[in-house]
Amino acid sequence: MKGIFSALLVPFDESGDIKEQGLREIIRQNIDKQKVDGLYVNGSSGENFMMSTEQKKEVFRIVSEENKGKVKLIAQVGSINLNEAVALGKYATDLGYDSLSAVTPFYYKFSFDEIKYYYETIINETKNNMIIYAIPALTGISMSLDQFEALFQNENVIGVKFTDGNFYLLERLRKKYPNKLIYSGFDEMLIYGAISGIDGAIGSTFNINGKRAKQILTLCQEDQVSKAYEIQHITNDLIERILDLGLYQTLKEILKITGIDAGVCKKPFEAFNFEKRAEVKKLVSTFNL
């Protein structure tokens, strides 16, 4: 369960329906070209929180079919509706996903006891492993070291997707829990997590830049930090331009230019600005995507 996991993109048509063939092409792109170690399915990058329960299940099914056991699969099942999270967790578990993951419940200001109950319920009902998804910038939930400790007491909580810039907390977690999996969630800060001893990373840009992410992680593990920094600089030049153009829209446009039917983003996301297509073509050429 270690290494680079793409936060899988999902292609939609103009009506918001999943483009099955395009999704299969994106899966193959990640496995065959980017050589990722695994796929993180139905996370933020998959526009999960705008999909119906049936669409989420459809994505889980297609990924499982296309993967055929080649790489590890993590199913993000988190939802503000606990019944949906449990149902999705059972569905992904039956499909053979290697672990579940769940974003902390958001919008309402849930207490930590309520958050703990949420995770324990999903685990107890599915009998699967769990990777906590900590992304305080989007959920408003920042957990302390003691709170992580309370969650980690459950042996089925095998790790955390740490999408947080608090590298002091990351260092403390790494030291205290050497046997728990820690995944970095910020692509642009991968090297700092790698220096801190993370087990892997989960990111949206890995759909098109996974090979460089693997190089950064491997070089840091081999104590070649200066070389890793060179690749992180290149990576961040790319990420900076992608963010300027629109994250998910641009990632899908890059895939389209390389011959993959990556569809469009779900509304209310704006459509890609085709006046910028020449800039995206230049990115593909300049960064050898």
Nearest in space to 25 (alpha carbons), one of 241, 208, 215: 208
Model pTM?
0.97
pLDDT bucket at 81, cuts 50 / 70 / 90:
very high
Q: Mind giving me the DSSP string for 159-227?
A: EEEE--S-HHHHHHHHHH-TTSEEEE--GGGHHHHHHTT-SEEEESTHHHHHHHHHHHHHHHHTT-HHH
Exposure class string for 141-174: b at 16+ Cβ within 10 A, else e? bebeeeebebbbeeebbbbbbbbbeebebbeebb
Contact between 126 and 98 under an 8 Å Cβ cutoff? The reply is no
**248: annotated active-site residue:** no
**107: annotated active-site residue:** no
What mean pLDDT is predicted for residues 112-140?
Answer: 95
Q: Which CATH number is 77's domain given?
A: 3.20.20.70
Question: Which position among 133, 214, 252, 266 bears the catalytic label?
Answer: 133
Q: What percent of the chain has pLDDT over 70?
A: 100
Nearest in space to 249 (alpha carbons), one of 47, 38, 23, 51: 47
pLDDT in tens, 223-233: 999 999 999 99
Question: Which position among 56, 161, 180, 214 bears the catalytic label?
Answer: 161
Domain span including residue 108: 3-286
pLDDT bucket at 216, cuts 50 / 70 / 90:
very high
If you average pLDDT over every residue of the chain, what do you get?
97
Q: How many CB atoms lie within 10 A of CB 267?
A: 12
What mean pLDDT is predicted for residues 116-121?
Answer: 98
pLDDT bucket at 144, cuts 50 / 70 / 90:
very high
**Does the pLDDT value for residue 141 go beyond 90?**
no
Task: Give the total number of structural domains in the chain.
Answer: 1
Whole-angstrom distance, CA of residue 238 vs CA of residue 8:
18
Binding site for aceneuramate: which residues? 44-45, 163, 185, 187-188, 204
User: For residue 140, what pLDDT is reported?
Assistant: 85
User: For residue 150, what pLDDT is reported?
Assistant: 97
pLDDT in tens, 13-48: 999 999 999 999 999 999 999 999 999 999 999 999
Binding site: which residues? 44-45, 163, 185, 187-188, 202, 204
pLDDT in tens, 152-169: 999 999 999 999 999 999
Q: How far apart are the first and last CA of the chain?
A: 26
User: For residue 138, what pLDDT is reported?
Assistant: 84
